[in-house]
Amino acid sequence: MAQRWTGRRQVDDGVRFAPTLTIACLVIAIVLAFLDRPDARIQPLANLRAGFNDLAAPVLELAARPLRGFANTGPWWRNQLALAEENRQLRLQVSELRAWRDVALAGQERNARYREALNLQGPDTGERITAWTVADRSNAFVRSRLVGAGAEAGVRAGFPAVNVYGLVGRIVDVGRSSSRILLLTDLNSRVAVMADRSNARALLLGDNTGQPRLEYLSREPDLVEGDRIVTSGDDNVLPRGLPVGQAFRDSEGRWRVALYSDAAPLDLVWIWPFDAVAVPGAEPDTSAVPELPSGRTVQQEDGVAGASQPATAEGEG
Amino acid sequence: MRANRDRDAVWPSVAAFIVSMLLALVLYTAPSSVGGLPDLTPSLPLIVLYIWAVRRPWFVSPPVILFVGLLQDLISGGVMGVWALAYVAAFAIARPRSDEGAADLGPLTIRFVVLALLAFGFAWGVGSAAIGVPAGAAPLITEAIMTIVVFPVLGWLFARRKERSAMFNSGRGG
């Protein structure tokens, strides 16, 4: 009974696996690896992941708390020197930013007036959601973070995650109280970006290295090293203008991006609620158009729709 | 009566196995790079699995190894089945068949190195197939080296414990 339960057999030279059970386990693992494709994950497996993350997140959060404290540990004198230097730099930045704040406020006010004048419909962004990283086991196959905020906090799949300096990634799996961020460096990450200076468009492709590649550039892209790269919003997945990083050429001459988000640890992130522009349906919904007393619709009355309208006009002509 | 005693002896081991494995998984995925430190976490689940496979050879069965591998896949957010397959295949080839020589750190470590190299090799192959391109070997090599470097510390503690229990049993028998 015990042998059947454990799947191992006691023999003279020790304990052996039951071959059938070993093969069955290998087959199960292969089938799961085949079904659980990151680019086309089936719904039951996605639900299983979300449920598991919800269960694991509180435990992982307990383990992560003391580790967060390590960031502030170290020799007392080293901390003091670092704090003094940081304080000096922050004072400088604050004095510079005061001037920028006035410029930004003036620009915001002017922008609002332009939007009103043009009746510009921008994407809606709601209140940002703060989340702590509870697990960050990135390896050769995946670059992701588990954060302790899920559907209950308003997180939805596709929302961008940023830290103090820039874009970190976007949400892929959402559980009740946890969600997983696919980092920009992950192999499955694709983000439409542009150079802030020249508006040169590109696609930022993660390749499981520290610095993602810029691909699908034009033949002679208007890019120079150090260009600020931001999201372009062309993919209708992320909002336009989120800071991503700085462009540079690697040793092989390919364009890559040094991510701004690397400048700070990813323990605290903000998730921005972002509703992408809805794709228009193939056929307009005519049921919503009110009926006129004569039996004709508003569109027919105005002469802007309906296949018979031009024919009638032709006939009348 | 004896069956009851055996069952009593098993359940503490089951509880200890579950607790140690959960601890290994939690520490493995804890955000160690939070303080800006490099991520040099060894594969603690593999170490714990191996030590238990030596301590209780009949205890770490293929379904248990599969389950631990799946937990590692799920908790790290990777493709399900990669580490599960790597662990089951590695243990099927280089499993510790008995606890003979478990008190000797040298052979214990050599056997673990072989097992770890196989596991990481399989993981690279399966993971690359799963993501569709050859995965970068550097992170896996770093993790494998850290795992092999850290193992003797835990292995030494285990060997000492095994040695003490062997001495205790021989003294009681004499």
pLDDT tens digits for range B155-170: 888 777 766 666 656 5
Return d(Cα B138, Cα B40) in angstroms, integer.
12
User: Which residues does chain B have within 8 Å of residue A63's beta carbon, measured at their own beta carbons?
Assistant: 26-27, 30
Quick check: B79 and A70 CB within 8 A? no
Stretch among A100-104, A126-130, A307-311, B109-113 having the lowest mean pLDDT: A307-311
State residue A301's pLDDT score. 44
Contact between B6 and B58 (Cβ < 8 Å): no
Cα–Cα distance list, B40 to A49, B31, B94, B146 (Å):
25, 11, 25, 7
State residue A317's pLDDT score. 31
The 10s digit of each residue's pLDDT in A60-83 is 888 777 777 665 565 566 667 778
Gap from B164 CA to chain A (nearest CA, Å): 22
Is residue B10 over pLDDT 70? yes
> What mean pLDDT is predicted for residues A123-147?
80
Q: Which residues pair with A205 in a beta bridge?
A: A190, A213
The 10s digit of each residue's pLDDT in A236-254 is 888 888 999 999 998 888 9
Question: End-to-end alpha-carbon separation of chain B, Å?
Answer: 25
Return d(Cα B88, Cα B94) in angstroms, integer.
10
State residue A229's pLDDT score. 94
Stretch among A146-155, A172-181, B24-33, B140-149 having the lowest mean pLDDT: B24-33
Does ipTM surpass 0.90 in this model? Answer: no
Architecture of domain A40-73+124-277: Beta Barrel (2.40)
List the single residue in A48, A71, A142 with the smallest CB-CB distance to B77: A142
Stretch among A95-104, A280-289, B92-101 having the lowest mean pLDDT: A280-289
The 10s digit of each residue's pLDDT in B33-71 is 555 556 678 899 999 999 888 888 777 889 999 999 999
Contacts of A171 (CB under 8 A, 6+ apart): A155, A156, A157, A158, A159, A160, A161, A179, A180, A181, A182, A271
Amino acid identity at A74:
G
Question: What values do phi and psi take at A62, rounded to 5?
Answer: -60, -40
Q: What's the Rg (C-alpha) of chain B?
A: 17
Stretch among A171-175, A179-183, A277-281, B11-15 having the lowest mean pLDDT: A277-281
Chain A residues 187-206 with CB within 8 Å of chain B: 187-188
Question: Which has the closest alpha carbon to A155: A178, A133, A134?
Answer: A178
Best mutation target among B23, B55, B56, B76 (most A Cβ atoms within 10 Å) is B76
Query: What element of type H or E holds A144?
Result: strand A144-147
Kindly state the percentage of chain A with pLDDT values over 70: 76
Query: Strand A160-162 vs strand A14-17: parallel, antiparallel, or unpaired?
Result: unpaired
> What mean pLDDT is predicted for residues A251-272?
85
State residue A10's pLDDT score. 52
B169 touches chain A (CB under 8 A): no
Is residue A313 over pLDDT 50? no
Stretch among A246-255, B75-84, B129-138 having the lowest mean pLDDT: B129-138
Question: What values do phi and psi take at B144, rounded to 5?
Answer: -65, -45
Q: Is the dihedral of CA A171, A173, A178, A183 positive or negative?
A: negative
Quick check: B81 and A33 CB within 8 A? yes
Best mutation target among B75, B126, B133 (most A Cβ atoms within 10 Å) is B75
Cα–Cα distance list, A86 to A70, A261, B48 (Å):
18, 18, 42
A21 touches chain B (CB under 8 A): yes
Quick check: B79 and A10 CB within 8 A? no
Q: Using pLDDT thresholds of 50, 70 and 90, give the confidence band for residue A308.
A: very low
Best mutation target among A32, A138, A187 (most B Cβ atoms within 10 Å) is A32
Full domain range(s) for residue B116: 2-31+40-173
List the single residue in B35, B39, B62 with the smallest CB-CB distance to A21: B62
More confident residue, A285 or A106: A106
Helix B82-94, helix B62-76: angle, nearest 10: 150
Gap from B123 CA to chain A (nearest CA, Å): 9
Chain A residue nearest residue B35, CA to CA? A71
Long-range pairs for B88-91 at CB < 8 Å and ≥24 separation? B88/A22, B88/A25, B88/A26, B88/A29, B88/B62, B89/A26, B89/B118, B89/B119, B89/B122, B90/B115, B90/B116, B90/B118, B90/B119, B90/B122, B91/A17, B91/B49, B91/B53, B91/B60, B91/B62, B91/B65, B91/B115
State residue B90's pLDDT score. 94
Q: Using pLDDT thresholds of 50, 70 and 90, give the confidence band for residue A228.
A: very high
B28 touches chain A (CB under 8 A): yes
B61 touches chain A (CB under 8 A): yes
Residue B153's CB is within 10 A of a number of other CB atoms, namely 10
Stretch among A308-312, B58-62, B142-146 having the lowest mean pLDDT: A308-312
> What mean pLDDT is predicted for residues A153-178?
90
Question: Which has the closest alpha carbon to B48: B31, B72, B32, B30?
Answer: B72
Q: Using pLDDT thresholds of 50, 70 and 90, give the confidence band for residue A315.
A: very low
User: Which residues does chain A have within 8 Å of residue B139's beta carbon, measured at their own beta carbons?
Assistant: 138-140, 208
How many Cα neighbours within 13 Å face the side chain of A108? 6
Is residue A28 over pLDDT 90? yes
State residue B94's pLDDT score. 86
State residue A125's pLDDT score. 58
For chain B, how many structural domains are there in total?
1
Chain B residues 72-111 with CB within 8 Å of chain A: 74-82, 84-85, 88-89, 91-92, 95-98, 100
State residue B32's pLDDT score. 65
User: Which residues does chain B have within 8 Å of residue A52's beta carbon, measured at their own beta carbons?
Assistant: 74-75
Gap from B69 CA to chain A (nearest CA, Å): 9
Question: What values do phi and psi take at B160, rounded to 5?
Answer: -60, -45
Chain A residue nearest residue B100, CA to CA? A14
